[in-house]
Amino acid sequence: MVIAVTPSFFCFLLAVCGYYILKGLGILFRRHRTDDLLQFVIKLFVVAALVVYNYSLMGLGIGGIGISWKKQMKNSCQGFDTRVNLDIYIKGDGNPHFPSHKLSLYTPDLPNPPPHQLGIDDFEFTSPIDSSKSPSEPYHTYHRMTGTLSPSQHLAIDFDLPNHLWRIMNLTYTDPSLNPTTSFPGTARTLFKSGTWSPTNETNPHAFIPELSLQIPNLYYYTRHCAYQPFMKVYTTTNLNATQITEQGNRTWSPLNEKEVVMRTAAFGYLPEKLEVCARRNEYEVNGTKMHGLREDVVVPLGLLAALRLQMRADGKFERGCEYVGA
C-alpha cells in the first residue's frame, strides 16, 4: 500500500492538531482562570499558535499550487526545439514581468549553445501610423513585427487588430548601415503573403487563420486576462473535416502535444512570472532559397499572440504585471 503525502494531507493533519491543541489550551485556561499571569501567558500562546497555524496553512497552500503548476507545465514543450520569451523584466510594484516589444528565439537545454548572431532571430514590435490613410481604412494603425532570419533575409509582419488583418513582407535594405529590425528608410518591401483571422467573442471564442489552415482555441479568453495565456495551443487544421475541427477546438487542455499542435504557450517553474512560446523550426523556401526556421504557420500566430498582449498592456491590463498562478 502506498500513502500519498500531499499538501492537502498536511493541511488535514494541521487542522486536527490545531483543534486538539486549542481544545487543551481552553481546558487549561478554565482551570487557571484565577491566575492573571497564567491567563495572560495562555492567551499569548493561543495567539501565537493561531498565527503559526494560519501561516503554515498558507505556506502549504502556496507550495501545493506551485508544485502542481510546475508538474503540469514541466513536459508541455517536449518535441519543440525553439522557445520565445514574450516578457520583459521591469522593476516595480506587483509582478515585474510585462509584455515585451522585443522577442528573441533561443534553443533550450543545450549544453553548449551556439553563439548568438547579433540581430539574427531577433524581432521587434513598433506601432506605425500610415498618415496617407484615413482612420477607417485598413492598416491606418497597426502593430509591426520586424525581424531578421539570416544576414540576407529580413521581414516585417503587420497586424491590424481592429480589422483582423495580417500581412508578411520581405524587406530589402538598400543601405547596409541600416538596422534591419527598426529602420525603414531605404527599404524595398515586397508583399509575400496576407490573410485574416476570425473575430472572437464569448459565444465563439476560437479564432481561425484560414489562409494558413490554423485554429487558435479560446483566443477570446487569451485577450481577457493573462491567467489564460499559458494554456494556448495553435493547431493546424490541414486535412480535417468540420467535425474534426470542432472537436479539436473543444479539447481539454493537457501538457501532451497532439500531432496537430504547431506551437503553444507555457509558463515554467513553481511560481512562474514570464510567458513563453514553444515552437518548432522546419525547412521552408523563400524566393527560391531554402531555409531552416519558423515558417509562416508559426511566425504569424506567434506575432499575433505577442501583438495582442502588447495591446492589452497599452489598454492598461498589465499595470502590475501578471500573476499567472492564482491570478
Tens digit of each residue's pLDDT (9 = 90 or more) over 108-138: 876 666 666 666 778 999 999 999 999 999 9
* 181 or 203, which is more confident: 203
Beta-bridge partner residues of 152: none
Model confidence at 1: pLDDT above 70:
no
Model confidence at 184: pLDDT above 70:
no
Instruction: Work out the mean pLDDT of the chain and round it to a whole number.
Output: 78
Three-state SS for 204? coil
- How far is Cα 42 from Cα 36, in angstroms, rounded to an integer? 10
- How far is Cα 70 from Cα 57, in angstroms, rounded to an integer? 20
Q: pLDDT exceeding 90 applies to what percent of the chain?
A: 39
- Please report, as a single letter, which amino acid is at residue 246: T
The predicted-structure confidence for 218-263, as pLDDT tens digits, reads as follows 999 999 988 899 999 999 999 999 999 999 999 999 888 899 999 9
Burial of 136 per CB tally in 10 Å (0-12, 13-18, 19+): exposed
Question: If you average pLDDT over residues 71-86, what whole number do you get?
Answer: 86
Question: If you average pLDDT over residues 58-85, what whole number do you get?
Answer: 73
Please give the pLDDT value at position 53: 47
* 282 or 52, which is more confident: 282
Q: Which of 66-70, 161-165, 269-273 has the highest mean pLDDT?
A: 161-165
Please give the pLDDT value at position 245: 96
Lowest mean pLDDT among 37-51, 72-86, 151-165, 260-274: 37-51
Lowest mean pLDDT among 84-88, 174-178, 270-274, 304-308: 174-178
Three-state SS for 102? strand
Alpha helices in 75-124 (DSSP H): none
**What are the grid coordinates assigned to 289, written together?**
532559397
pTM summary value: 0.75
Please give the pLDDT value at position 235: 97
Question: If you average pLDDT over residues 76-93, what whole number do you get?
Answer: 82
The predicted-structure confidence for 205-221, as pLDDT tens digits, reads as follows 999 999 999 999 999 99
User: Residues near 64 by Cβ (< 8 Å), separated by ≥ 6?
Assistant: 6, 7, 8
